[in-house]
Amino acid sequence: MKHLQTTLFVIAFAILSTQSFRHVYVKWIEPRSSVLDAYREAVDTAIASAASLDELVALYQRAHALVEEADKDTATSEETRFERHSKEPYTTEAKLRDEVQGWESRTKQLFELRFFWSLGLLGVLLGIWCYKRANPWLGMAGIITGFSEMAYWTSPLARSWGAAPEFERLLSHKLVLSLLTWALLVTLWLALDKWGKTRSP
């Protein structure tokens, strides 16, 4: 049991440490500017400066209204659907639709992160209880499952180049929960080590 605990601790410690370093890099160190920023289209600048989903939706509604007007004007046109949708206002509407969907996706990921990380924490706590009160192997199974869940859901993100606020919220949550998981792992390891020594004859 002791050898298994040591091996699993080292693996979990390495995973949580490296992914926490990655979160720190993406949040504060990774370069974000480009020499091409000066040539961005107006819609890209508007997307990047959007501070909320409501702002993005308002931009999308205006673009969608322009698309509806364009559809009326081209109802009898011989242009193919592809030709129409490869120019304005269709391209702007498509970009804004993608950003709205991306924001909603990140909001969903944030909810999933909190929910499944909490389940992982519950698994660890139940595992500790089983380890001390019932069966050490059953307890270890619970602890391993819990930490695996917590490590998976705090795994690194690739930076998003669109609307930033919801991405930053998700990244911040992942960093905090990754560090909490790391701290819990180290605390548990020290506690198990101390408890093992007190049980030794």
Could you give the CA distance from residue 191 to residue 187 in angstroms, rounded to a whole number?
A: 6
Handedness of CA 143, 148, 151, 152 (dihedral sign): negative
pLDDT grade, residue 103 (50/70/90)? very high
> Which residue range forms the structural domain that includes residue 157?
2-30+40-199
pLDDT score recorded for residue 45? 85
Q: pLDDT tens digit string along 1-59?
A: 788 888 999 999 999 999 999 999 999 998 877 787 777 888 888 888 889 999 999 99
List the structure tokens of 53.
């989903």
* pTM score, whole prediction: 0.87
List the structure tokens of 89.
């206002």
Could you give the CA distance from residue 80 to residue 160 in angstroms, rounded to a whole number?
A: 32
Q: How many domains does the chain have?
A: 1
pLDDT score recorded for residue 72? 80
In a domain, 46, yes or no: yes
Q: pLDDT tens digit string along 168-200?
A: 999 999 999 999 999 999 999 998 877 766 554
Upstream peptide bond of 89 is cis (omega within 30 degrees of 0) = yes
Calculate mean pLDDT across residues 92-100: 93
In a domain, 138, yes or no: yes
In a domain, 77, yes or no: yes
pLDDT score recorded for residue 198? 58
In a domain, 155, yes or no: yes
Residue in the block written with tokens 């192997």? 137
pLDDT score recorded for residue 163? 65
In a domain, 35, yes or no: no
Q: pLDDT tens digit string along 137-170?
A: 999 999 999 999 999 999 998 776 666 888 899 9
Residue in the block written with tokens 């993005």? 56
In a domain, 26, yes or no: yes
